[in-house]
């Protein structure tokens, strides 16, 4: 089974702060994803990648950057955090696009 | 509008009973997944289907790609089945789109 590890698990930052969320998967999956989960919206796709150096824009990308440095590692960057970005963030991976997706345990981010 | 519509949004069941959750899709989907989100917030993989029906214990799921829907049947509900159930479907653009979830509460 895919192992997807997110860090940190919890983070509090101030408005205007700089935050990096990290994700590592150890099953050699090509695709990695960042989602945010908010009450009333379910999970929404921020960015995804199909390999090292690749980045694709998701459905709610504004205010977020992402970088896929290796096949294993996918980072989500908030360079000027705002309270609207307070959310539960999930990283996920899949072997290919359209195959089964496996999730990390989530990072709860609070922007005060 | 939403591409993945889940119903009902909330459901209460007594232990030992069963029900069905449904996802309707407004566009052609290549595959569907079902997840349970537990009280700790973790997303647990239940099923992945490109077509047909799969069963695992007290859970059974069907994906009808022609008629654009999927169902998750729960029978003999237990307290630990409480949580939020999400379906997620894969569009042709290799993006996985989630429904808004069904909040299931199993009552003693």
- Give the percent of chain A with pLDDT over 70: 98
The CATH classification number of B4-107 equals 2.60.40.10
Six token digits for residue A58: 């998701």
Considering only the beta carbons, identify the residue of A40, A90, A101 that sits closest to B33. Answer: A101
Q: Where are the beta strands (DSSP E) in chain B?
A: 4-7, 10-14, 19-25, 31-37, 43-49, 52-56, 59-64, 69-74, 83-90, 96-98, 102-107
DSSP string, A58-106: -SS-TT-EEEE-SSSEEEEEESS--GGG-EEEEEEEESSTTS-EEE---
Angstrom distance (rounded) from CA B48 to CA B17: 24
Residues facing residue B105 across a β-bridge: B12
Task: Check if B97 contacts A (Cβ < 8 Å).
Answer: yes
Radius of gyration from C-alpha coordinates of chain A: 13
Residues of A whose CB is below 8 A from B100: 40-42
Best residue in A97, A108, A109 to probe B by mutation, most B CBs within 10 Å?
A: A97
For the stretch A45-91, pLDDT in tens is: 999 999 999 999 999 999 999 999 999 999 999 999 999 999 999 99
Enumerate the domain spans of chain A: 4-111
CATH architecture of A4-111: Sandwich (2.60)
Residue B11: closest CA among B108, B80, B82, B63:
B82
Average pLDDT over residues B28-46: 93
For the stretch B44-84, pLDDT in tens is: 999 999 999 999 999 999 999 999 999 999 999 999 999 99
B residues 30-69 lying closer than 8 A (beta carbon) to A: 30-31, 33, 35, 40-43, 45, 48
Task: Check if A88 contacts B (Cβ < 8 Å).
Answer: yes
Position B93 confidence tier, pLDDT thresholds 50, 70, 90: low
> Are B91 and A56 in contact, with CB atoms under 8 Å apart?
no
pLDDT at residue A96 in the model: 86
């Amino acid at each position: 089974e895919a192992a997807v590890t997110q860090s940190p698990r919890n983070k509090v930052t101030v408005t205007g702060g700089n935050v990096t969320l990290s994700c590592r998967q150890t099953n050699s999956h090509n695709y990695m994803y960042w989602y945010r989960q908010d009450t009333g919206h379910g999970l929404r796709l921020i960015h995804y990648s199909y390999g090292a150096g690749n980045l694709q824009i998701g459905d709610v990308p504004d205010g977020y950057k992402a970088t896929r440095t290796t096949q294993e590692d996918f980072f989500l960057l908030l360079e000027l955090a705002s309270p609207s970005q307070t959310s539960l963030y999930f990283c996920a991976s899949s072997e290919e696009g359209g195959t089964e997706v496996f999730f990390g345990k989530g990072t709860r981010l609070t922007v005060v | 509008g939403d591409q993945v519509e889940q119903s009902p949004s909330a459901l209460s069941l007594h232990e030992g009973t069963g029900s069905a959750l449904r996802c309707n899709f407004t566009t052609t989907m290549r595959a569907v997944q079902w997840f349970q989100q537990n009280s700790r917030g973790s997303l647990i993989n239940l099923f992945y289907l490109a077509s047909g029906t799969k069963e695992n214990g007290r859970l059974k799921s069907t994906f009808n790609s022609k008629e654009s829907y999927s169902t998750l049947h729960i029978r003999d509900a237990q307290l630990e089945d409480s949580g939020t159930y999400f379906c997620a479907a894969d569009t042709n653009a290799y993006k996985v789109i989630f429904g808004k979830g069904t909040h299931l509460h199993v009552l003693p």
